[in-house]
Amino acid sequence: MRRTAVVTGVSRRIGIGAAISRRLAADGFDLLLHSWAPHDAEQPWGADEGWTDEFTRELRETGARVEHVAADLADPRAPAELVRRAVEAYGHLDVVVANHARGVGQALEDLTATELDLTYAVNTRATLLLVQQFAAQHDGRPGGRIVLMTSGQHRGPMPGELPYIASKGALHQLTGSLSAHLAPRGITVNTVDPGATDTGYASDAVLRAVLAEEPQGRWGEPDDAARLVAWLAGEESRWVTGQVIVSSGGGP
């Protein structure tokens, strides 16, 4: 039986979510892709309008079965709906990759309760509920995998992104407890920190500053993270769980 995965945060053609989805499709997975373009529309890079439908068609042409759901993960009902749609489409679900993220720059002086609550809701609450719903429906077959995504908040200060790093730091700290809870059921839980990855968000000044500290002389590329995520989603990672893995090329 073909393996199936939900990948969240597949909204932009140069994003990590797109690279992960391509890798999993190449590895024989059938996919349910999640996106939420209104978040990107609020950002300097803007929304990649219509791209996810185009991407869905691209992956289907490779032979994968692919469904797409647009959903606001600030809605507490959305995680259950994603899992329901995946099981409805494919009969079972093997892997969840919680790649989505809300990121709005706020330093201490700029913090608002509204943004803190919304960032926690999307990055932390939705991820936990997605894990809960996945675990509730998992039928015990071998190969249950959960991959979360954190950031570099544990490796250096990020004072201008406090809501984001607070919510991502929570996922980092949840990894061990979730993995211990699900290990008896053969479900692994790992978290990936992809390091500085060029997905079009950084200004020229940030690009130069980070590049100056990159020992391999380049920024990370989306496929760098995708290769690791695909391995964690596969059979050969079955003995690896409860880990927060940095994939940064040795850089910041």
With cut-offs at 50, 70 and 90, classify the pLDDT of residue 146. Answer: very high
Higher pLDDT, 198 or 34: 34
User: For the residues 135-151, what does the mean pLDDT come to?
Assistant: 95
Residue 90 a catalytic site member = no
Higher pLDDT among residues 195 and 136, named by residue: 136
| Structural contact between residues 184 and 199, judged by C-beta atoms closer than 8 angstroms | no
The per-residue pLDDT for 237 is 98
What mean pLDDT, rounded, does the chain reach? 92
Q: Which of 90, 120, 164, 201 is catalytic?
A: 164
* CATH fit for domain 4-246, picks 3.10.450.240, 3.40.50.720, 3.30.1490.20, 1.10.3080.10: 3.40.50.720
**Distance in angstroms (rounded) separating the CA atoms of residues 159 and 232:** 31
pLDDT(154) > 90: no
198/114 Cα distance (integer angstroms): 29
pLDDT cut 90: percent of the chain above it: 73
Burial letters for 184-218: b for 16+ Cβ neighbours within 10 Å, e otherwise? eeebbbbbbbbbbbbbeebeeeeeeebeeebeeee
Q: For residue range 176-223, what is the model confidence (pLDDT) as tens digits?
A: 999 999 999 999 999 999 987 777 677 777 778 777 777 877 877 899
Query: Which region among 6-15, 155-164, 235-244 has the lowest average model confidence (pLDDT)?
Result: 155-164
State the average pLDDT over residues 32-42. Answer: 88
Write out the two tokens for 100.
């989505």
DSSP string over 132-164: HHHHHH----S-EEEEEE--STTTS--TTBHHH
Q: Reduce the DSSP state of residue 179 to 3 states and report it.
A: helix
The sign of the torsion formed by the CA atoms of 241, 86, 125, 192 equals positive
Q: Which two tokens stand for residue 70?
A: 């647009």
d(CA 27, CA 233): 10
Does residue 1 contact residue 7 with C-beta atoms inside 8 Å?
A: no
Q: What is the pLDDT of residues 64-114, one digit of tens each?
A: 999 999 999 999 999 999 999 999 999 999 999 999 999 888 899 999 999
